[in-house]
Amino acid sequence: MRQAARRLLSPQFAEVVEKTSQPFIQSIQDLETPWMAIQGRVALIGDAAFVARPHVGMGVTKAAADAWSLARALEAHGDDIAAGLAAFEAERLPYGRAVIKRARDLGAYMQAQLLTPAERELAERHRKPEAVMTETAVSTGIAA
């Protein structure tokens, strides 16, 4: 396993595997839904719609903003729940996608294989822990 880690992982992670007496694996994944309103009756909010890697530190904030947006959209459309859900989705779906993109950008430096020059440039910027920390759980300019 340590040999595979040296071959497949970024140097930072390979070193962690080398120094861990009893290694284990905890995957870090994103979850992205294509819809937040389903059949005009169901709304997905928070982590049910988008689970971003922990790099962005936005789980609670995003869930609260989703709930607030849903309440506003339903109130604005009165008895037309389907229209309220559609308005909610139109507002929050782009935001959820932006959060996922941000998380992937911050996490890219941990990947062993970076395919494009843009990915490599972004990874280089985030190789230092200080750089990641200055961009974690901070205002990103993503419009809420």
Residue 121 has pLDDT above 80, yes or no: no
Arithmetic mean of pLDDT over the chain? 84
CA-CA distances (angstroms) from residue 144 to 8, 98, 131, 139? 37, 10, 23, 10
Task: List the domain boundaries for the chain.
Answer: 29-134
pLDDT band at residue 143 using 50, 70 and 90 as cut-offs: low
Residue 100 has pLDDT above 80, yes or no: yes
Looking at residues 104-126, what average pLDDT do you find? 72
Give the position of tokens 């992670």.
13
More confident residue, 7 or 85: 85
pLDDT at 90: 97
Give CA–CA dist 1/68, Å, rounded.
Answer: 46
pLDDT band at residue 65 using 50, 70 and 90 as cut-offs: very high
Helix, strand, or coil (residue 43): strand
Residue 84 has pLDDT above 90, yes or no: yes
Structure tokens at 84: 């309220």
Please choose, from the candidates 21, 47, 27, 28, the residue with its C-alpha nearest in 3D space to the C-alpha of residue 36. 47
Q: Which stretches of 39-106 are assigned E, i.e. beta strand?
A: 42-43, 50-51
Least confident of 12-26, 69-83, 121-135: 121-135
Give the position of tokens 């880690």.
5
Count of CA atoms in the C-beta half-sphere (13 A) of 117:
0
User: Which CATH entry fits the domain spanning 29-134: 3.20.190.10, 1.20.1440.130, 3.40.50.720, 3.50.50.60?
Assistant: 3.50.50.60
